[in-house]
Structure 1
Amino acid sequence: MKIREAGIDYIDKTLGRLYNGLSMLMVSDSFSMNDADRLAALFALNFLEKGGAVISVHTNLPFNIIQKQVEKNYSHGKNEVFQKAVTEGRFHFLSLVSSENRINTSYNVLKSVREIANDPNRIVYEINDVKNRIRQDFPDTLILVTYTNISSSIIDFDSRTVLKMIRRLVLDAKREGYIFLGTANRDVHESTVTNTLNHIVDYAMNFSLETIYDQKHTYVYVSKTPLLKEAHKILNQRVAYHFSSDNFITLFPLYPSFDELKESMSFNEWGQISVLGWNHIITPIQTLTIFLDSVEKLFGHEKNQEILFDLGRKVGVGAARLVESGLQISDEKLFLEVLKYNTAAGWGRLLSTEGSIDGGKLKIAGISTVALSYGRSDHPVCTFIAGGLAGILKVATKKDWSARETKCIAMGNELCEFELELK
């Protein structure tokens, strides 16, 4: 069996492909530790979905908590994948407990769930035992071993002992052809331990926290990759990120766009705020949502959709011409810069795009401030934004586009999604 993709775009692009014997590490600080663990779990779920087997090692974490985390953080489809793998015996859970905390009776009737003594030699023995059982039941199945929070083991034992154990697991992976993935918290031990872990593995990601404009922002970067030719483009390039139930989405940097917007902003004695040479009004988002709700009550849903789309299209044209004249750019670059401008102006966040302007079709997913503030709705509420996207593309391509919102946060979807097509 071959599994070549993680199913997580950022990892697939910065790693290249999965291969037998690969070792991976996700390092975080205390603030972003849950994010590293969540991404590792998503990696494991995708691995199970592709038919692989997973051995998951945790410290003092009952299996029922893992089940609840899967139900809470991931979609119904991913939860079904997990339950199926547990039932079939392709998922094995090893809970590390100290001798004084160990209970005599099993807390789960599943043979694939067991408590083991928190001892490095015992851990390696149990992992090898489970690998042998999996190979007997599923001879051609690729195995992933995940070790959640290696740092916890370092607290229980000395760092030298744990590093020796991890190195052994990594070497076993290379020799036997399975994949190893660990997570670690750099805040709980000296930097030399983290550096050694990075040195041992083939691929390493780092999560961290930065405070900008008094706001806390998490980001991720790759500190080691097998992609030698691309390494200089990838290493230590920080990007923001967002979790959906089944995906990990990296975001384009906002801070340069926000700085450019601030630099172009001025305030005069007439009480006017100018941005990129055009006057702006700063108003709470509730003003817009009240307006949108009032227009729909006055004209009805269908007519309201026509009015808002047309208004949004005109506003989109105006925003595109504003950025076009201020930054002296055009075409696809103009489209992306206008989206950055709108993000910096508080309209929401672009998360992903599919298709191309040249191909005449685009699918855009993001977070809409309008939808977040609107409240619950039985229909999409970002028609104004859909019109805006069509207007921006009209200026960027000099051609007319159709646009419609197919998913909306106000309807309970995780993201707002828009489909745009050249007329």
Structure 2
Amino acid sequence: MVRDLYMFSKVDKEAEVVWFNIAYENTVHSEADITSFFAEKGLDIRFAYLDCSDDPSRGKYVMFTEAKKGMDIKSIADELGKMDVVLKLDWGFSKNRVIQSVEFPLHLLGERAVIIRAKTFVNILNMLTEHVPQSEGLLTMIGLKSGADVVNYLRDMVDVNDSNFLDLLKELLMAAGWGILEYEMSTVDLKGTLRINDSFIADEYEESDVPTCRYISGFLAGYISESLNTTVHVRETICKSMGNGFCEHLVSPAPKGAKIEHLLRGESH
């Protein structure tokens, strides 16, 4: 299991770490044929991942291998590049023996992304809270827009509907490292409870007398409102930073006629 976004290969300190970025024609046997090729050449695959999200007819296979010193990697790469299913090939040596599970530039939900520590994110929130007037409303509005934007992106890939939008949200929050979501919500009366265990914001905050995950509340409100095409309010009532075991956000319907763009402009309270 990969513990971090990158790790150092320690299995064979005498071997060389060689990476391959393979664009291939997506057929039933493509991945198996490529993997078999590496096995035949004696290249030990230490880490690999597949990506076919952009174009179903094409795939990307990124792998980090260990090769005994002295192996003619260029000849192996030339032979790999001539396989019928291989469309494009990049490869190279990792001089510091680093194996990465991301590549540059990093993309998340269709946009350029960067990785920062949760502590850094919380430091930014703290600076806003200390120096920006009405920072709570600002953070909520930033979250609202972010949550709505995510739904618009997801709709290009899957059918976001009343029955699956919260399950999609649960998978998204866990994959992004935000926390583990549990929920009870009625899409009829637009009321419910969203509980987040191990919130990345609350975990990094020092003790607080008030809830600290207002950005997440805004994100949840934007996500739910856009998913259901009906505006909701979300507010955090229980927070781990206050000494509780989890964070809890209450969902309630917005005033009649309110739209998410009204919330973004701060017109509805």
Q: TM-score, normalised to structure 2's length?
A: 0.55
- The reply to whether residue 299 of structure 1 matches residue 129 of structure 2 is no
Shift of 1:376: 1.2
Structure 2: distance between partners of 1:369 and 1:261: 27
Which residue is 2:119 aligned to?
Answer: 286
- 2:235 is paired with a residue whose SS is strand
Aligned residues: 165
Contact 1:405/1:418, CA 8 A, preserved across alignment: yes
The separation in 2 between residues aligned to 1:263 and 1:348, in whole angstroms, is: 26
State whether residues 320 and 338 of structure 1, in contact with CA within 8 Å, keep that contact through their aligned partners in structure 2: no
In the alignment, residue 157 of structure 2 is paired with which amino acid? G
Is 1:420 aligned to 2:251, yes or no? Answer: yes
Q: CA deviation at 1:312?
A: 0.5
Counterpart residue number, 1:378: 209
Equivalent residue, structure 2, for 1:249 = none
Structure 2 gap segments, 5+ residues each: 5-48, 55-59, 63-89, 91-102, 255-269
Instruction: Say which of 308, 316, 320 aligns to 2:147.
Output: 316
Contact kept, 8 Å, 1:285 with 1:370, in 2: the verdict is yes
Write the mapping of 1:388-407 to structure 2, written as runs, cut at 5 A. Answer: 388-407=219-238
Q: Partners of 1:416 and 1:354 in 2: how far apart?
A: 14
**What amino acid sits opposite 1:345 in the alignment?**
A
**Structure 1 gap segments, 5+ residues each:** 1-211, 216-259
Name the counterpart of 1:331: 162
Task: Look up the SS of the partner of 2:146 in the other structure.
Answer: helix
Instruction: Look up the equivalent residue of 2:189 and give its one-letter code.
Output: G
Deviations 1:209-237 (A, max 9, x none): xxx5459xxxxxxxxxxxxxxxxxxxxxx
Alpha carbons 1:323, 1:338 under 8 Å: kept: no
Instruction: Measure the CA separation in 1 of the matches of 2:207 and 2:127.
Output: 16
CA displacement 1:252-281 (0-9 Å, x = unmatched): xxxxxxxx997649899x942123433222
Give the corresponding residue for 2:196. 366
Higher fraction of helix: 1
Q: Is the 8 A contact 1:274 1:280 kept in 2?
A: yes
**AA matched with 1:343:** M
- Per-residue deviation, residues 295-353 of structure 1 (Å, max 9, x unmatched): 010125xx111111111111111122222222233334123203311221111111x32
Distance 1:283-1:263 versus aligned 2 partners, 3 A rule: farther
Distance (Å, rounded) in 1 between the aligned partners of 2:242 and 2:177? 21
Q: Per the alignment, in what secondary structure is the counterpart of residue 403 of structure 1? A: strand
> More relative contact order in 1 or in 2 (CA 8 Å, sep 6+)?
2
Residues 35-81 of structure 1: CA deviation (Å, up to 9, x unaligned): xxxxxxxxxxxxxxxxxxxxxxxxxxxxxxxxxxxxxxxxxxxxxxx
Contact 1:371 1:410 in 2 (8 A): yes
Spell out the pairing of 1:16-415 with structure 2 (5 A cutoff): 212-213=1-2, 264=53, 271-300=104-133, 303-350=134-181, 352-367=182-197, 368-415=199-246
CA separation in 2, counterparts of 1:262 and 1:377? 41
Please report how far the alpha carbon of residue 387 of structure 1 lies from its aligned counterpart in structure 2 after TM superposition: 0.4
User: Rg bigger for which structure?
Assistant: 1
Distance 2:152 2:242 in 1: 32
Fraction of identical pairs, as percent = 26
The SS at the match of 1:326 is coil
Does the aligned pair in 2 maintain the 1:261–1:344 contact within 8 Å? no
Distance 1:276 1:296 in 2: 28
